[in-house]
């Protein structure tokens, strides 16, 4: 990291978290972000549901909700970037404060509530963006929607052709009732509806992968049901996982009791256990993205060996800054070689170290 970027990262940590985040996005959108200094190590090249990635380290949804800076984020070194969550209509989200750093725990709690500019603005920005790399669009439902299932179809219709893949976000804990869409009957209703929309879009605009993002708080019995529903309705993969409502006893920060979804280091173990269960249930029939607590190369490697074809991170950036991306990629490449793997795909599902 340059001295300027290091100074900026330190200053950002002293500001209100949401203000610091907004300033970061503004700087990236203005072209002030870092650029990866080297071409990715060839050992990191891989595929995700047919998408060619120069490396498997992605940026999770939530960082760039409104697609203001995906090109800058890809240039920073991510293998893929997921923007959103975006909803059909703009919405303000939950009252502030709604974003909290748990510094001593290397964690974050947020209860943002899908605050975003809406899909018309999202689409307009994507049309103007100049980018090289894989971009995903994470779509959700408006809080006051009369038909939340229909909102996902609206999102696909408005944004199809502007993103390389889509994620159906049914697992945010900050929109009341949204996680109910993960129950078997509700999920089948949602996936059947979105599959019909997708089939019509494919006829005129071609196909792209569609993923489902799930919560880390799922009961073990739900894993198989979700996998079979995803396969039945033609989804390409599952993102494991969103933020958690759990509060581990190990948390020490004064903000540990705040309402909302917990992300960061405390989520690593639980989300990885759930990832392994999805890997076993899917048995190679779905692509998997591992999210939750990734803050170094060892964490990324753990996710891959647990069954992830690729990983995503977000919270760790608040503490480590953009130099984290390169550090993870270098360490991951070294670990793959040390264990005799010739590629990321060879290590997927290899099991615990």
| Residue 128 CB partners (closer than 8 Å, separation 6+) | none
CA atoms within 13 A on the CB side of 87: 23
Burial of 228 (0-12, 13-18, 19+ CB in 10 A): middle
* 172 carries an active-site annotation: yes
DSSP class of residue 106 equals T
Using left for φ > 0, alpha for ψ between -120 and 50, and beta otherwise, residue 75 falls in alpha
Query: Of the listed 172, 263, 295, 315, which one is catalytic?
Result: 172
**Residue 53 is encoded by which pair of tokens?**
């990635």
In 3D space, the residue among 121, 116, 229, 225 whose CA is nearest the CA of residue 174 turns out to be: 116
- Residues written for the chain: 353
Alpha helices, DSSP H, located in 15-97: 17-29, 70-75
Beta bridge partners of 263: 108
- State the CB neighbour count (10 A cutoff) for residue 199: 11
Active-site residue numbers? 172
């Amino acid at each position: 990291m340059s001295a300027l970027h290091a100074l900026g990262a330190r200053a950002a940590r002293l500001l209100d978290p949401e203000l610091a985040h907004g300033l970061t996005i503004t700087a990236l959108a203005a072209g002030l972000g870092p650029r990866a200094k080297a071409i990715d190590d060839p050992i990191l090249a891989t595929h995700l549901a047919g998408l060619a990635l120069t490396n498997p380290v992605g940026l999770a949804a939530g960082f760039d909700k409104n697609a203001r800076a995906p090109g800058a984020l890809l240039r920073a070194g991510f293998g893929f970037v997921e923007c959103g969550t975006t909803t059909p209509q703009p919405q303000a989200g939950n009252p502030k404060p709604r974003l909290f750093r748990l510094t001593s725990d290397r964690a974050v709690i947020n209860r943002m509530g899908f605050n975003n500019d809406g899909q018309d603005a999202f689409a307009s920005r994507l049309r103007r963006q100049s980018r090289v790399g894989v971009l995903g669009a994470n779509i959700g439902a408006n809080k006051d929607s009369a038909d939340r299932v229909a909102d996902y179809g609206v999102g696909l219709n408005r944004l199809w052709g502007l993103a390389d893949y889509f994620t159906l976000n049914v697992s945010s804990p900050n929109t009341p009732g949204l996680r109910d869409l993960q129950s078997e009957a509700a999920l089948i209703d949602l996936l059947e509806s979105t599959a019909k929309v997708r089939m019509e879009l494919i006829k005129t605009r071609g196909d792209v992968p569609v993923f489902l993002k799930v919560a880390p708080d799922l009961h073990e019995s739900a894993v198989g049901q979700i996998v079979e529903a995803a396969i039945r309705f033609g989804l390409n993969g599952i993102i494991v996982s969103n933020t958690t409502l759990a509060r581990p006893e190990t948390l020490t920060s004064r903000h540990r009791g705040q309402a909302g979804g917990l992300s960061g280091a405390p989520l690593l173990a639980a989300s990885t256990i759930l990832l392994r269960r999805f890997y076993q249930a899917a048995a190679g029939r779905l692509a998997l993205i591992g999210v939750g607590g990734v803050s170094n190369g060892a964490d990324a490697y753990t996710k891959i060996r647990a069954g992830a074809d690729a990983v995503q991170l977000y919270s760790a950036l608040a503490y480590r800054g953009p130099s984290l991306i390169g550090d993870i990629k270098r360490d991951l490449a070294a670990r793959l070689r040390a264990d005799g793997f010739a590629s990321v795909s060879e290590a997927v599902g290899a099991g615990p170290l």
